[in-house]
Amino acid sequence: MQSSAIPIDQLEATALKVREHIIKMSTDGGCFVGASLSAADLIVYLYSEFLNINPNNLNDPDRDYLFLSKGHDVPALYGTFAELGLLEKDRLKNHLSLNDHIYWHPNTHIPGIEFHSGSLGHLPSVAIGVAMDIKIRGGKNKVICIMGDGELNEGTCWEAALVANAHKLDNLIFVIDRNHFQANMPTEELIPLEPLHDKFTAFGAAVKRIDGHSFESLHEAFSAYPFETGKLNVVIADTVRGKGLPSIERRADRWFCNFNAEEVESLLKELHGEHLTNLTSETLVVR
Amino acid sequence: MTYEELLTQTALADDRFIVMTAENRALVRNIPGKLGNRFIDTGITEQTMIGAAAGLALRGRIPVVHALASFLTMRAFEFVRTDAGVPNLPVKLSSFIPGFLSDGNGPTHQAVEDISLMRGIPNMTVFAPADEQDLVMMLPEIWKHPHPSYVRINTRKTDHQHSPFKLGKAEIISKGDDVTILTYGLLFEQALIAVEILKNEGLSVGLINLRSLKPVDEQAILEATRESAITITLEDHFVTGGLYSIVAEVLLKHCQTAKVIPMALKDKWFKPSLLPNVLEHEGFTGKQIAEKILGYNTNAYQPEISIPQFSE
């Protein structure tokens, strides 16, 4: 395997910064912290290393495309954009401000966001349309759609997998942020998804299952793109909801969080391993 | 020219066009071999087809999508609203067998709330041609417009020679002091018959083919309701949300009052049968329409209603 062009420690440093941004956005109205932290490493890796997307080619039809179908993780995207120069860092302070477009779901007022999302199970099909057009034109660009594991409850994800396979869209990659949680509870308690690898394989996809927090694993998987000629690529990235903050990791009630200023300070210290945070449940909101 | 010929000719001349279907090839049977990979059949997946059409439109394409009206508007509603409507992408919805045209299928296939649903979506435009000539006249304008559109496809042939289509303009067939019939789509055919009967009974009768329901020709509605003693809204749609509602909204907006009587489906689905039987049973033949307006029976002749020739 080739080593990534960007050193692993640099990717990790970027991801740490992105997590800081997510925590800072979790106050004054809050955001979907747990879902954003699980996807942060994925998003950092894809924009930093894998995708041909940069501030200068956002309207170039030959760029790569990333669709964030699991819209709750958009704070991770805002943070990554800020770190990679696609978004001015100062704008992150405008989270939920009427004077900007930085809110709980992706929207195309932010350059670099390809399509709005929020209603689950939509962007797999939009990504299919883009991948189809690239195929028709003989382009080489890649199309990624990040989906949540809870999102896989939506039948249109599976409809899309059937269609992508039927149309041999090997330029399309579905990335599943497999953090094992729905909004309110563990996936396997509500709508079990396992054996997920086998399910996608049975739908005709070429599937890789990896540790979604290991940049080595991410690089090993994505550098094998396309996984098989003529097949939809699927990456199941096993992740941890709330990754980086032990006090909220893997907790069903830490889906949407609205922390107060003191808690944000404390969480930032926890992120850097200084000490464990003692959060008061009153300030944690489950929407 | 037929719908399929127009679509083929347009797509061959302009490679932005992509013809899509969710395995409903009735209107596009001869297109696959002609357009190569610009013909896309996604299978029985109305939702995924609409999402994919949005993705294609993002890349500069103009997708013309085909599915049965009920599934295109209802099963895929949120995809139409969210993936085509919100971003205002030029996804062109060709809606097959809307209204009474799904004669024998039963309620699952009856799109009789489609106008209501589609006109409720911001950015969406809504059209209902009276026959194939009307359809072929209006589509070039609609397809070149940079917005999503919904067209109630109607490929029936009538003898009526339509005037050229102008976006957002109704076709004024005649003006009358006593009664004006406002209608669209399939029932235009019966409205022509009704108008003849009414004229033979000595009434001064107006007839307007709306063509475009969003944007709607407000001026035509205001003039007709002002100049006629009675206005009839005639449609193969539920009375709620369609033309009757549109006329009510227009009148209220302009602080105008008028006597408007709806002829539409009153909160129930229609009885499935072959089209002539459906029209007769539901009271929408030209003769029945005229007699309802007159309030008495006549000896008028009801021309034979042809049975649709297409299949799914």
Q: Tell me which residue in B37, B52, B82 faces A128 most closely, judged by beta carbons.
A: B52
Test A163 with B37 for CB contact under 8 angstroms: no
Judged against a pLDDT cut of 80, whether residue A281 lies above it is answered with no
- Ordered by where they begin, the domains of chain B are 3-152 (3.40.50.970), 171-294 (3.40.50.920)
Judged against a pLDDT cut of 80, whether residue A280 lies above it is answered with no
Q: How far apart are the CA of B132 and the nearest CA of chain A, in angstroms?
A: 30
Amino acid A1: pLDDT: 57
> Does residue A2 lie in a domain region?
no
Judged against a pLDDT cut of 60, whether residue A282 lies above it is answered with no
- Rounded Cα–Cα distance for residues B178 and B220 (Å): 16
Confidence class of residue B121 from pLDDT cuts 50, 70 and 90?
very high
pLDDT digits (tens, 9 = 90+) for B217-249: 999 999 999 999 999 999 999 999 999 999 999
Judged against a pLDDT cut of 60, whether residue B311 lies above it is answered with no
Judged against a pLDDT cut of 80, whether residue A286 lies above it is answered with no
Confidence class of residue A44 from pLDDT cuts 50, 70 and 90?
very high
B56 touches chain A (CB under 8 A): yes
Per CB-CB distance under 8 Å, the chain B contacts of A135 are 37
Convert B89-107 to b/e letters by CB count within 10 Å (16 or more is b). bbbbbbbbbbbbbbbeeee
Amino acid A252: pLDDT: 83
Q: Tell me which residue in B43, B51, B87 faces A129 most closely, judged by beta carbons.
A: B51
A265 touches chain B (CB under 8 A): no
Mean pLDDT, rounded, for B144-156: 97
- Give yes or no for a contact between B64 and B94, defined as CB atoms under 8 angstroms apart: yes
Mean pLDDT, rounded, for A157-186: 96
Per CB-CB distance under 8 Å, the chain A contacts of B49 are 125
pLDDT digits (tens, 9 = 90+) for A70-129: 999 999 999 999 999 999 999 999 999 999 999 999 999 999 999 999 999 999 999 999
Test B51 with A119 for CB contact under 8 angstroms: no
Instruction: Please give the single-letter amino acid code of residue A81.
Output: F
Q: Searching chain B, which residue's CA lies closest to the CA of residue A166?
A: B42
Q: Tell me which residue in B47, B53, B87 faces A129 most closely, judged by beta carbons.
A: B53
Mean pLDDT, rounded, for A9-14: 97
> Does residue A1 lie in a domain region?
no
Mean pLDDT, rounded, for A162-184: 96
Amino acid B19: pLDDT: 98
Q: How far apart are the CA of B139 and the nearest CA of chain A, in angstroms?
A: 23
A61 touches chain B (CB under 8 A): yes
SS3 B18: strand
Amino acid A275: pLDDT: 76
CA angle B193, B27, B100 (to 5 degrees): 35
Percent of chain A with pLDDT over 70: 97
Task: Give whole-number Cα distances, B2 to A17, B7, B117, B128, in Å.
Answer: 60, 9, 28, 16
pLDDT digits (tens, 9 = 90+) for B64-105: 999 999 999 999 999 999 999 999 999 999 999 999 999 999
Any long-range contacts for B309-312 (C-beta under 8 Å, 24+ apart)?
B310/B26, B310/B27, B310/B97, B310/B155, B311/B26, B312/B24, B312/B26, B312/B68, B312/B96
B86 touches chain A (CB under 8 A): yes
Instruction: Give every strand in the sheet of B62-68, ordered side by side.
Output: B39-41, B17-21, B62-68, B92-96, B149-152, B125-127, B212-214
Contacts for A93 with CB less than 8 Å, ≥ 6 apart: none
Test B79 with A125 for CB contact under 8 angstroms: yes
> Does residue A3 lie in a domain region?
no
Q: Tell me which residue in B37, B42, B63 faces A163 most closely, judged by beta carbons.
A: B42
Q: Searching chain A, which residue's CA lies closest to the CA of residue B59?
A: A130
Q: A270: domain CATH number?
A: 3.40.50.970
- Give yes or no for a contact between B268 and B262, defined as CB atoms under 8 angstroms apart: no
Amino acid A283: pLDDT: 60
> Does residue A271 lie in a domain region?
yes
Percent of chain B with pLDDT over 90: 98
Judged against a pLDDT cut of 90, whether residue B178 lies above it is answered with yes
Judged against a pLDDT cut of 60, whether residue B117 lies above it is answered with yes
> Angle, to 10 degrees, between the axis of helix B3-13 and the axis of helix B132-144?
20
Structure tokens given for A207 = 């599937």
Q: Worst-scoring range by mean pLDDT, A137-151, B257-271, B296-310?
A: B296-310
- Give yes or no for a contact between A83 and A43, defined as CB atoms under 8 angstroms apart: no
Test A129 with B82 for CB contact under 8 angstroms: no
Amino acid A3: pLDDT: 78
Task: For residue B9, give the H/E element and its range.
Answer: helix B3-13
Amino acid A2: pLDDT: 65
- Rounded Cα–Cα distance for residues A144 and A162 (Å): 16
Per CB-CB distance under 8 Å, the chain B contacts of A136 are 37-38
Percent of chain B with pLDDT over 70: 99
Q: How far apart are the CA of A159 and the nearest CA of chain B, in angstroms?
A: 7
> Rounded to 5 degrees, what are φ and ψ at B125?
-110, 150
Amino acid A183: pLDDT: 87
> Does residue A146 lie in a domain region?
yes
> Does residue A253 lie in a domain region?
yes
Q: Searching chain A, which residue's CA lies closest to the CA of residue B39?
A: A136
> Does residue A144 lie in a domain region?
yes
The domain of A268 spans 8-284
Judged against a pLDDT cut of 80, whether residue A278 lies above it is answered with no
Q: What is the CA radius of gyration of chain B?
A: 19
Counting one residue from chain A and one from chain B, the pairs whose CB atoms sit within 8 A come to 89
> Does residue A113 lie in a domain region?
yes
Confidence class of residue B254 from pLDDT cuts 50, 70 and 90?
very high
CA angle B117, B120, B126 (to 5 degrees): 75
- Rounded Cα–Cα distance for residues B227 and B176 (Å): 7
Q: How far apart are the CA of A122 and the nearest CA of chain B, in angstroms?
A: 7
pLDDT digits (tens, 9 = 90+) for B6-43: 999 999 999 999 999 999 999 999 999 999 999 999 99
Q: Searching chain B, which residue's CA lies closest to the CA of residue A114?
A: B58
Give residues 18 to 47 of B whose Cβ lies within 8 Å of A. 37-38, 40, 42-43, 45, 47
Amino acid A284: pLDDT: 66
Confidence class of residue A253 from pLDDT cuts 50, 70 and 90?
confident
CA B98 from chain centre, in angstroms, equals 7
Q: How far apart are the CA of A164 and the nearest CA of chain B, in angstroms?
A: 9
Total domains in the fold of chain A: 1
Judged against a pLDDT cut of 90, whether residue A135 lies above it is answered with yes
The whole-chain average pLDDT of chain B stands at 97
